[in-house]
Structure 1
Amino acid sequence: MARATLEVAQVLKRTKERLEHYSSNTWQLRTLHAIRKCRTAALGGHIDSCTNSSCNKLHLSYNSCRNRHCPKCQGHKQELWIRKREEELLNVPHYHVVFTLPDTINTLCLYRPKEVYTLLFASAWSVIKDFGSNPKFLGARMGMIAILHTWGQNLSLHPHLHCIVPGGGMTAAGNWKDIAKAKSGYRKARYLFPVKAMSTVFRARFVAGLKKQFEQPISFYEALFKKNWVVYCKAPFYQNRHVVEYLGRYTHKIAISNHRIVSLKDNKVTFSTKDYRRGGAKYKLILPDAEFIRRFCLHILPKGFTRIRHYGILSSS
């Protein structure tokens, strides 16, 4: 892919004197400045020398910020991660499952993101683990790789987990049990578990976790049970190569890539987006610099927060 001509960093450079007003904490501000300085003289550089004796040309390269929210620093990390996963994935079908939080939770995500997102991971894994251990569905210990995304196409807050789940698990006797051979009527539909049942259990467990950590009016929790929570499950991938390629799209993806920016005129940012409620229709969204940066900051995760996690038979423990 050709290098993008317009960048998020350009927006941050022209607003650098006002960035502290657009970010809500010092960690967000540090992240914005890191992205602004990425691959510029501000971060220093190094000299690359051609090893060909007939060339010997020198090239000055500026250092990268290596921030995980930077649009320019994810390609190499993504490639390394994919290579490692190719060595680890089991040679079985894998399912893509998405757990999504309703927008009612967004306010809590803004003020207590670490607690809410940690609970999202825990609730999703508890659903996969318990459905898998249930003899009605499989009766084995499963595994999961989960990746947190917090954005929608228009940079709004839209927390959800992309999970890759192998199609089977280990029995108590230490044998592999293939989920495709489990005796259950819905198995003919080629989906992991019944999504309506998964959605109901996911909602109940997440809300139970919220009640333990947050003091909210009873009406707040009642409203959560009135909403339909979404758990989406795709048909399985049957080849590891397809799993890795698909998963690679999500691992080091950030809120917006530089390639989506189409204009930076008049202190406004125009970028391409899709409306999935209208069948993925494409359109261009125009935001003032301040609003663009505010939305970008919604997706800067807390310092040290782990956004890719491994569970069960896919974990190191």
Structure 2
Amino acid sequence: MISLSSIIETFIADFITLYHGSILPSQFKALAAMKDCRTTQSRVMLVQCNDCEKQVFVPHSCGNRNCPHCQSHECQQWLERQLKKEVPADYFMLTFTIPKELRSLAWQHQRLLYSIMIQCCWETVKTFVQNDSVLQGNAGAITVLHTHSRSLDYHPHIHLVMPAGAINQKKKLWSFKKSEGKTRYLFNHKALAKVFRAKMLDAVNKAALTLPVNYPKTWVVDCKFVGNGEKALVYLGRYLYKGVIQEKDIITCKDGQVTFRYQDSKSKKMLTRTLPGPQFLRLILQHVLPKGFRRTRNFGFLHPNSKRLIALLQYLTGINPNKSSAWFRERPKLTCKCCGGIMKIIKTMIPPSHKSRSFPYKLTKEEAVLVM
């Protein structure tokens, strides 16, 4: 398998030469971190076996949220928190997309436009829930920002997962929409798109940004039934921290070209794409978010401040918050290669030295999540 760090090492000089004028600080920081992740240049920690007392050096991961190696444990923790908020209702995943004419504006004002997109998505569904003849209450939603298409082009859009239910705190009622058969219905996707478009344009104008003159009148919003929401949240959790590409999808790196594979969203077939090395790095780094920007946010009764309300609702409706435990994985422990004993950490963040660079301890795939 071809590692992303080896590709960065090969093409970093050419990449900086070509794109030095447009590299953002957050992108350069991510590039430097992924380049040294679990290599001889990374810091190490000293671990010792509890049984035979053997000591070995273990490389630290870079911990960058764009690295394909790192933050598996953080993804797992996020998924566990979301699944424990399950409520008795059908779940839907709504995808809000801005037209291609606005992508340039989004790229130039990433922090502002991404925040506007997320807030407008929430305001749209909140309005529909409040006005719905069945629901008429406060909505709850989980939003996740994605900036990439399957072929890794710049394509900012918001995935919003929400139950078809609402809480009316004044009347102390839980209302939900229930439909039978294969076709489940929440809201009309064309009506959602019209309201989302109006809210986006209004917010962009209030932010004193200049809209392009040729943006379309018709926007796209997709609304899809996703059962109890488990699989949708698992899917979103995969791309929460670990970058936009898995190393297993990088097929070749030779003659200055990098080839990777991806699944076409329409045909569902696996396709390949080949780019010059520096351009491939540019493709990856354009999806690095501004420093400190939160990709995922919870709203309404699914907000972290509503834990007691969710617990009460689950108790009254007989929902077990731990029934999705099949998705929960215990964090693996480092084990000694000599005797199989559990190893404990003695010292961390040791600078790389001639002695520690050999890394006599080789991490398994499961153990790799420990050194994040």
TM-score normalised by structure 2 residue count: 0.75
The equivalent residue for 2:357 is none
Q: Distance in 1 between matches of 2:14 and 2:68?
A: 21
Residues 81/135 of structure 1: CA separation in 2 closer, same or farther (3 Å cut): closer
For residue 127 of structure 1, the aligned residue among 115, 124, 134 is: 124
- Quote the residue 2:215 is aligned against: 224
Aligned-pair identity (%): 30
Partner secondary structure for residue 94 of structure 2: strand
Instruction: Give per-residue Cα distances to partners, 1:17-50, cap 9 Å, x unaligned.
Output: 3443435222211110011111123231012333
Deviation at 1:264, TM superposition (A): 0.8
Q: Is the contact between residue 259 and residue 275 of structure 2 (CA under 8 Å) also seen in structure 1? A: yes
Give me the whole-angstrom Cα distance separating, in 1, the residues matched to 2:32 and 2:182.
52
1:269-308, aligned counterparts within 5 Å? Answer: 269-277=258-266, 279-308=267-296
Contact 1:137 1:193 in 2 (8 A): no
Name whichever structure is richer in helix by fraction.
1
Change (3 A) 1:82 1:201: same
Shift of 1:187: 11
Calculate the aligned-residue CA RMSD, in Å: 2.3
Distance in 1 separating the partners of 2:26 and 2:37: 16
CA distance in 1, matches of 2:239, 2:30: 21
Secondary structure of the 1:158 match is: strand
Q: Deviations over 1:123-173 (max 9, x none)?
A: 100111000000435211001100011001221101111111012010131
Name the counterpart of 1:110: 107
Residue number among 170, 179, 183 corresponding to 2:177 in the alignment: 179
Deviations 1:272-293 (A, max 9, x none): 023334x123221100011111
Pick closer, same or farther for the CA change 1:249–1:17 going to 2, 3 Å: closer
CA 71–94 in structure 1, closer or farther in 2 if over 3 Å, else same: same
Correspondence for 1:194: 188
- CA distance in structure 2 between the partners assigned to 1:216 and 1:19 by the alignment: 31
Letter in 2 for 1:10: S
Q: Shift of the alpha carbon at 1:85? A: 2.2
Go from structure 1 to structure 2 and tell me whether the alpha carbon gap of 1:207 and 1:81 turns closer, same or farther (over 3 Å shift): same
CA contact (8 A) 1:147 1:250 kept: no
- Structure 1 position 212 matched with structure 2 position 206: yes
Contact 1:82–1:248 (Cα < 8 Å) also in 2? yes
- Kindly indicate whether the alpha-carbon contact (under 8 Å) linking 1:148 and 1:159 is maintained by their aligned counterparts in 2: yes
Contact 2:33 2:64 in 1 (8 A): yes
Match of 1:6 in 2: 2
Deviation at 1:113, TM superposition (A): 0.6
Q: Pick from 74, 77, 82: which aligns with 1:80?
A: 77
1:262 aligns with one of 251, 254, 272: 251
- Note the alpha carbon deviations across 1:192-244, whole angstroms, 9 max, x for none: 21111001111111111112224426xx25x3243x31111111413x64454
- Which blocks of at least 5 consecutive residues in structure 1 are unaligned? none
Larger radius of gyration: 2
State the partner residue of 2:345.
none
SS at match of 2:57: strand
User: Relative contact order (C-alpha < 8 Å, sep 6+): which is higher?
Assistant: 2
Output the TM-score relative to the length of structure 1.
0.87
Task: Specify whether residues 78 and 28 from structure 1 end up closer, same or farther in structure 2 by C-alpha distance, changes over 3 A only.
Answer: same
Does the alignment pair 1:154 with 2:156? no
Any stretches of 5+ residues in structure 2 without a counterpart? Answer: 306-372
Moved more, 15-24 or 293-302: 15-24
Q: Give 3-state SS (helix, strand or coil) of 2:82's partner.
A: helix
Asked if structure 1 preserves the Cα contact closer than 8 Å seen for 2:95 and 2:223, the reply is: yes
- Say which is worse superposed, 303-312 or 86-95, in terms of deviation: 86-95
Rate the CA distance shift 1:281–1:127 in 2: closer, same or farther, 3 A. same
Letter matched to residue 245 of structure 1: V
Q: Look up the equivalent residue of 2:97 and give its one-letter code.
A: T
Q: 1:244 to 1:206 in 2, by over 3 A?
A: closer
